Structure 1
Amino acid sequence: MRIVLLHFIKHSIKPVFIYRSLWLAAVHHFAIAAESIGWHRLSYLLFLLLERRATALSTSNRISAFKIKQFVEFHRAKNEWLGNTNRVGSPDPLFRCQVKEQNFLTRPPNRFAGRYSLEFTHLGLRLDGFLSNEAVGSQNVALWLDNQYIRSLPLYYRKWAPPFFHYHIKREVIARFPQSSQLSISTMEGKHLRFRKSSAAKVEVPHGDSTIFDYLSSASGIDKKGFLSLAPDTIEARQQRYLKIYARAQKYFSQSFGSPLFLMYGTLLGHIREGDFIQSDDDFDAGYLSHKRTAADVKRETMHLVVDLVLAGFTCSFNRNGRLFRLRLKDDKPDVHLDVRPVWYENGYIWAHKQACLPLEISDFEPVRTEILRGVEVDVPKNAERVLAAYYGEGWKVPDPSYSNASQKVPRFVTRKLKSVCITPADYQEMQAQIDARRPDYPEAGKLIATGLYPLYPLEDYEANCEW
């Protein structure tokens, strides 16, 4: 009963925090309910109202606008299309996808180990769930499709709450599903979780090509972010491209900004520990030292830096949390970028996204050491080994395939501090206005892209500029 109550509270209360309005949260629930029972015209009108609200928030100081605008746009467009009796050609293949109950059980033979929900969103298929008290102590749950193991999902523990999980199976994976399949979730010991009143969910994907099992059997998989894992040769080629972007960016940082761009996190770990990238590492982490002493000043400095980078010909973007920033060259695809963040010292600690509050000093970072990675000069913090030990722990020299930064517990004061460096929609509009005003003098300028505010449709334009 506690699990049912928590599940209800989560899905009922969450919109209140997103919209900061009880009546808009009520509209949200009515819109979702209308869509679920096929009242698409009513749902369309309700989501249209919510979309207007989301558009108004796109110039506000509410970071939540980055997360709700495309969700509302997706459901508004979906119900507009489904409610049109003369519809032809879906503008989005996910509009036809559905989740239904499978294997309805009025009296399950065994007590379920928890419950979960499924929902198609603009990003793909979202899974949310809780485990019962009996399952406390587990670290993962198992995801199954047509009784075949797909991957494990990490569990999160918080005070006063049972273990929970959330995961998004992204669009590129959904496209490989069978047109009709059975999805279930179980503990690693084999006890099933409950979906509505069933032991499994029926997932209908009309555009699915049924290649998911062939893909998984070829030693590939689905990564922790819900995307298809890249093949080794693709990862190696991408790492080479990262180094080309880094070389261009490092020149700008050193000559124009006055602060070197150094390796961080997994990229630094691979270089120091193995003399190369970590074999499966498909991203590139970098940072630069800010000598500002407050989060507010660091944020303003970073905003000015990003404007200057765009005018210098780079394309910069930021995620749906407003975290600055991703950096790429103008001719690169959206998913081929450097993850860059400011690093600063405040109140006795070194701070940096993601989740870093480290007992280090400025002197651990500068002056940087210049070393060679695959024939390219790269900068690393002065005491790189100490930085790695502070972030990963003293065991950083021994590879740990199970390590996940997302599963680490982070004190609330750390998340609050780092959140204060994230930009708001109003900040983005200010930066974009500066770029537009100065663009005539910079014909080779790049773009500044707010991923969460970019129009979803047409999908081809979105995917040419943003990643999922």
Structure 2
Amino acid sequence: MVDLLRKVVRRLRNRDARAARAAKAAKAAAKAATARASSQLEAGAWGAACESYREALRVNGGKKTSRYALAKALQRRYLVPFEVDGDTVVPIPAEAAEAAFTEALFELQAVVDTDPKRVRATYFLGRHFEHGGRYVEAAQTYQLALTRLETVDEPWGHSSRLAWMFRRDWVAQLLNADPDADPRLLRSTEAAEALPGGPSPDVAGFIDATVTHKGLAVTGFVLADRGDDIDIHLDGRFLVRVTADPGKRLHNFGITLTHRVLDEFPSRARLTAFTDTAGLVSKGGAEAIIVDVPDGSGKLPVLLDDGYRVNKKGRLSEPGAEAADHGPRYFRAYRRVHAVFAEKLGKPLFLVYGTLLGCYRDGALIPGDDDFDVAYLCAATDPKGVKDETMDVMAALIAAGFDVRIAIDGRPFHLGVDGVGIDVNPLWQYQERVFGFTGHALAREDLAAVTPLDVGEVTVDVPRGAEAFLRDTYGPDWRTPAPGFRYYRSDADLKELRKARLTPSEVRRFAERVEELRRDNPGAGRFLGYAVPDNPDFE
């Protein structure tokens, strides 16, 4: 009897061991398939990536993460009219795009129906319905996403709420036209007529444009070796240059033309994009995107003739002579804030980013640059400590009479000083990198000491490692102006940066703290909360 029991126990153990080995092998196979799919996506091989994600689904039992990843890969296949096979651009047939749309809908619906915590997947499903012209379902799904978002206390929650509300209202306007609606809801885009035969093998990349709560979001990618500077044209006229991110095999780019720029658009215009090698195409292989702005003034060509330009942030910059008049106001505001940092906080306040670049390289602010970037070095060296320290700094500045707000994504912070805005960047070292607006391969010592710099008749502080900072931020050619330069942050850096952003509940608690401070200090400034799209300083 004892021998029999021992045999049974051995058989059970062997069965469990085989099951564990099988589970381990399946997990490894799913991980390998997912890694392969990610690499294929980066190369523009949408079809191959989809097949790899399907393989991961087959071996991992249909995990929601794999379903969601597959749906996002399928979106590329139905939105982008071509894919890349090695070095060859291959048009995607219309029937293949339709099949990808249907499959993506099935996978997304499965995720949304079974996991209410997948809040962003719910919004993505709404976008999917909208792309397919299924506006009733899109509006319903956007509302579901907003309802589920109410349970989220993450830095991205506030900005997502604004974006998702706009999408819901924009779709609702399509379903029930209201001539008295917010004019922004009447603005729209559509792909122009497609060329027969699909995209040329020499196409430079893909471009899309969507009206959002911020403005016209123009996004896309260019293929490797086909140029990184994208010139965007409106009705055949140059509008703005955007530099793509060269960090991956597909060089992504993006810019949002604010609604204040769209105010001056013609009522209907054609938007096109080119690199120095070829043009970009949009959905269906179209070479242009039609932008409808029914309330547009049509004054943009005249403004451009008068010297206005669209800057890298998608805003209208004044002609150089008028912009130069802001310089003294910025420097006076900087000196006021600098004094508070020195006297009340015991910290030097120094120039960074575009302000440092212009003053150090050119001895002046960059013409058309519409912000003033400064920074201080945090004592804290972890994201949680940085948040606590930053809120203490903001409270001290409010007590000194300055107005403070944070960016829409919870990133601190912006000062209002005598009618101009100062962007203050807390810098901190964490795991051998320095973080601020982006991540830097610098040491704390590069920023711990400052040195005076004369800019005209004004003296400012700059980090002693100014050239190392500029080289890390703008590259080895930082001395050569690059008007289309944009910041592109790595996924790893963004993961750390987001940890130092304020959540909605933290913003509410800080607002309560400021109200108590103001009761005891009538001369205190205000906490203005989040930036809003209608604010001219919004970004």
C-alpha change, 1:257 and 1:167, in structure 2 (3 Å) is: same
Structure 1 residue 392 displacement after superposition: 4.8
Q: 2:343 aligns with which of 241, 250, 255?
A: 255
CA deviations on 1:212-257 (whole Å, 9 max, x unpaired) are: 2223333432211111232213322222221222122112111111
C-alpha change, 1:313 and 1:120, in structure 2 (3 Å) is: same
- Report 1:269-348 matches (<5 A): 269-329=357-417, 332=419, 336-346=420-430
CA deviations on 1:135-193 (whole Å, 9 max, x unpaired) are: 5342123323223333333222444x523322212212212221112222334223441
Q: Aligned residue for 1:406? A: 487
Q: TM-score, normalised by structure 2?
A: 0.71
Q: Say whether the 8 Å CA contact 1:315–1:327 is kept in structure 2.
A: yes
Q: Percent identity?
A: 24
Q: Say whether the 8 Å CA contact 1:123–1:171 is kept in structure 2.
A: yes
Q: Aligned residue for 2:69? A: none
1:451 aligns with 2:530: yes
1:70 aligns with 2:162: yes
Q: 2:193 aligns with which of 91, 103, 115?
A: 103
Unaligned runs of 5+ in 2: 1-43, 51-72, 80-103
1:463 aligns with 2:535: yes
Structure 1 residue 274 displacement after superposition: 3.5
- Report 1:57-456 matches (<5 A): 57=152, 60=153, 62-84=154-176, 87-90=178-181, 92-108=182-198, 110-111=200-201, 112-132=203-223, 136-159=225-248, 161-329=249-417, 332=419, 336-346=420-430, 350-359=434-443, 361=445, 365-366=448-449, 368-382=450-464, 384-385=466-467, 387-388=469-470, 391-392=473-474, 396=478, 398-401=479-482, 404=485, 406-407=487-488, 412-451=491-530
Q: 3-state DSSP class of the match of 1:29?
A: helix
Structure 1 residue 84 displacement after superposition: 4.7
Q: Aligned residue for 2:125? A: 29
Work out the CA distance in 2 between the residues paired with 1:240 and 1:155: 33
C-alpha change, 1:200 and 1:31, in structure 2 (3 Å) is: closer
Q: Aligned residue for 1:459? A: none
C-alpha change, 1:199 and 1:308, in structure 2 (3 Å) is: same
Work out the CA distance in 2 between the residues paired with 1:279 and 1:104: 39
- Structure showing the higher helix proportion among its residues: 2
Unaligned runs of 5+ in 1: 457-461
Amino acid at match of 2:510: M
Could you tell which deviates more after superposition, 141-150 or 255-264?
Answer: 141-150
C-alpha change, 1:14 and 1:109, in structure 2 (3 Å) is: closer
Work out the CA distance in 1 between the residues paired with 2:192 and 2:142: 29
CA deviations on 1:244-303 (whole Å, 9 max, x unpaired) are: 221221121111111121222332333334433334433211112323343432221111
Q: Say whether the 8 Å CA contact 2:433–2:439 is kept in structure 1.
A: no
Work out the CA distance in 2 between the residues paired with 1:359 and 1:253: 22
Q: 3-state DSSP class of the match of 1:323?
A: coil
C-alpha change, 1:14 and 1:418, in structure 2 (3 Å) is: farther
Work out the CA distance in 1 between the residues paired with 2:508 and 2:277: 50
Amino acid at match of 1:125: L
C-alpha change, 1:271 and 1:14, in structure 2 (3 Å) is: farther
Work out the CA distance in 2 between the residues paired with 1:390 and 1:113: 28
Could you tell which deviates more after superposition, 3-12 or 432-441?
Answer: 3-12
Q: 3-state DSSP class of the match of 1:190?
A: coil
Structure 1 residue 371 displacement after superposition: 4.9
C-alpha change, 1:99 and 1:389, in structure 2 (3 Å) is: closer
Q: Say whether the 8 Å CA contact 1:143–1:151 is kept in structure 2.
A: yes
C-alpha change, 1:447 and 1:190, in structure 2 (3 Å) is: same
Q: Say whether the 8 Å CA contact 1:51–1:76 is kept in structure 2.
A: no
Work out the CA distance in 2 between the residues paired with 1:308 and 1:14: 47
Structure 1 residue 33 displacement after superposition: 2.9
Larger Rg: 2
C-alpha change, 1:386 and 1:156, in structure 2 (3 Å) is: closer
Query: Which one scores higher on RCO, CA 8 angstroms, separation ≥ 6?
Result: 1
Work out the CA distance in 1 between the residues paired with 2:484 and 2:421: 23
CA deviations on 1:65-85 (whole Å, 9 max, x unpaired) are: 133111122233334555556
Structure 1 residue 122 displacement after superposition: 0.6
Q: Say whether the 8 Å CA contact 2:199–2:281 is kept in structure 1.
A: no
C-alpha change, 1:231 and 1:429, in structure 2 (3 Å) is: same
Amino acid at match of 1:151: V
Amino acid at match of 1:172: R
Q: TM-score, normalised by structure 1?
A: 0.80
Q: 2:142 aligns with which of 44, 47, 56?
A: 47
C-alpha change, 1:384 and 1:165, in structure 2 (3 Å) is: closer
Aligned length: 441
